[in-house]
Amino acid sequence: MKFNIAVIEGDGIGPEVTRAAVAVLERVGERYGHHFEFNYVLAGGRAIDETGVPLPASTLEVCQNSDAVLLGAVGGPKWDQLPGHLRPEKGLLQIRQGLGLFGNIRPAKVFKALKEASPLKPEIMGDSLDIVVIRELTGGLYFGKRGRDEAGAYDTMRYSEAEVRRIARLAFEVAKKRGGHLTNVDKMNVLESSRLWREVVLEVAGEYPEVTLNHQLVDNAAMQLVRDPHQFDTIVTANLFGDILSDEASMLTGSIGMLPSASLGEGRLGLYEPIHGSAPDIAGEHKANPLGTILSTALMLRYSFDLEEEALAVEGAVEKALDDGYRTPDLKGLGRTVTTEEMTDAVLERLV
């Protein structure tokens, strides 16, 4: 099969980790008889330097006509003084909007070999952890009406039934393929928008009798993530709550460099990126952890290309490399310290 992938290398360590991900996809193609065609386009700080805008129209067009988008990372202190509409991060928001991506899937997985990296006590963590947070991406407080008046400032948290229904369906679909358990997180005891949210989630639940649904208030969910994280499998929540809870869940793993993410819309086209930033302080030093980006390609194979066997092979290769003691500097003290390229080679060698 042939797949077209738009590649945005981005800034800082972005080019280094995307090179690793492309190498893994090429190896998958060799092993399983697929052809991945990579189209390199600009966004973020480098796009500002070369074109004057964070997202050139040509980049969005290529992304819209691709089967998936692979992103390294964008931004850095070099562009911090620019006005908001010209910041590198604005380009990422424009891509999400231009592609209609409304759901962010962020796994927080602790591999057995890295369980000591977790800040949780061993008796709480156990040997491993595997949670997915699904965050609504284009509505809620971040996109509601805002402003200032004589008395102060305000932001509005608003959701339509359609916005909630589509993210709920995405969450149930993901939960169905995982452990069959979905936790809805809201603040319905206080917020009217959360009361609507829960009503619609309950309606959608009727379409998925095979998935067990429960509810938690967001403050309780934040506490439970560190008290008893194993009670969770798949979590769905609103934009603001998801922003906070997914960051909290990611830190249970001990290293932000390990974590992938996927942003999806109505169809199969998705944007895949690690959750870490561009880390310009280590760019070019061969220290970047490529595993978050490599694991993002596994999500791409699973959600955009429907290649589950190939996705599992990538995830298995990463786990084998970790089991064999390979560690980038962010995982210091847990094994043999290697470069970005050596870690990538370790995964490639185990990709069978």
Confidence grade of residue 161 (pLDDT, cut at 50, 70, 90): very high
Q: Which residue has the higher pLDDT, 215 or 114?
A: 215
Confidence grade of residue 128 (pLDDT, cut at 50, 70, 90): confident
> What pTM was computed for the model?
0.91
Note the pLDDT of residue 126. 85
SS3 206: coil
Q: Which of 90, 109, 115, 187 is catalytic?
A: 187
Note the pLDDT of residue 1. 87
H-helix or E-strand containing 192? helix 192-205
Q: Which residue has the higher pLDDT, 210 or 336?
A: 210
C-alpha closest to that of 112 among 220, 253, 8, 215: 253
What's the rounded mean pLDDT across residues 190-204? 98
| Mean pLDDT computed over every residue of the chain | 94
For the domain spanning 119-252, the CATH number is 3.40.718.10
174 φ, ψ to 5°?
Answer: -65, -45
Q: Is 80 a catalytic residue?
A: no
Q: Is 324 a catalytic residue?
A: no
SS3 211: coil
Structure tokens given for 158? 């608003």
For the domain spanning 1-100+260-352, the CATH number is 3.40.718.10
Strand runs labelled E in 91-189: 103-110, 129-136, 146-148, 153-155, 181-186
Note the pLDDT of residue 182. 98
Give the residue extent of every domain in the chain. Answer: 1-100+260-352, 119-252
Q: Which of 40, 142, 176, 345 is catalytic?
A: 142
Q: Is 187 a catalytic residue?
A: yes
Q: Which of 78, 130, 176, 247 is catalytic?
A: 247
Nearest-angstrom CA–CA distance, 139 and 238:
8
172-183 pLDDT, tens digit each: 999 998 989 999
Confidence grade of residue 352 (pLDDT, cut at 50, 70, 90): confident
SS3 7: strand
Query: 344 to each of 22, 182, 284, 314, 317, how far by Cα in Å?
Result: 10, 34, 15, 11, 10
Burial class from Cβ neighbours inside 10 Å (0-12, 13-18, 19+) for residue 262 reads: buried
Strand runs labelled E in the chain: 2-10, 35-41, 68-73, 103-110, 129-136, 146-148, 153-155, 181-186, 212-217, 234-237, 260-264, 270-274, 326-327, 336-337
Note the pLDDT of residue 110. 87
Note the pLDDT of residue 251. 86
pLDDT at 333 over 80: no
pLDDT at 33 over 80: yes
Note the pLDDT of residue 111. 87
> Could you tell me if 64 and 268 are in contact, meaning their C-beta atoms sit under 8 angstroms apart?
no
Q: Which of 11, 186, 233, 243 is catalytic?
A: 243
pLDDT at 200 over 90: yes
245-302 pLDDT, tens digit each: 998 998 888 778 889 999 999 889 999 999 988 999 999 999 999 999 999 999 999 9
What's the rounded mean pLDDT across residues 115-144? 90
Q: Which of 49, 127, 155, 219 is catalytic?
A: 219
Structure tokens given for 222? 């934040």
Q: What percent of the chain has pLDDT over 90?
A: 81
Q: Which residue has the higher pLDDT, 131 or 83?
A: 131
Confidence grade of residue 231 (pLDDT, cut at 50, 70, 90): very high
In residues, how long is the chain? 352
Q: Fold identical between 1-100+260-352 and 119-252?
A: yes
Widest Cα–Cα separation across the chain: 64
58-86 pLDDT, tens digit each: 999 999 999 999 999 999 999 988 888 88
306: number of CA atoms within 13 Å, CB side?
4
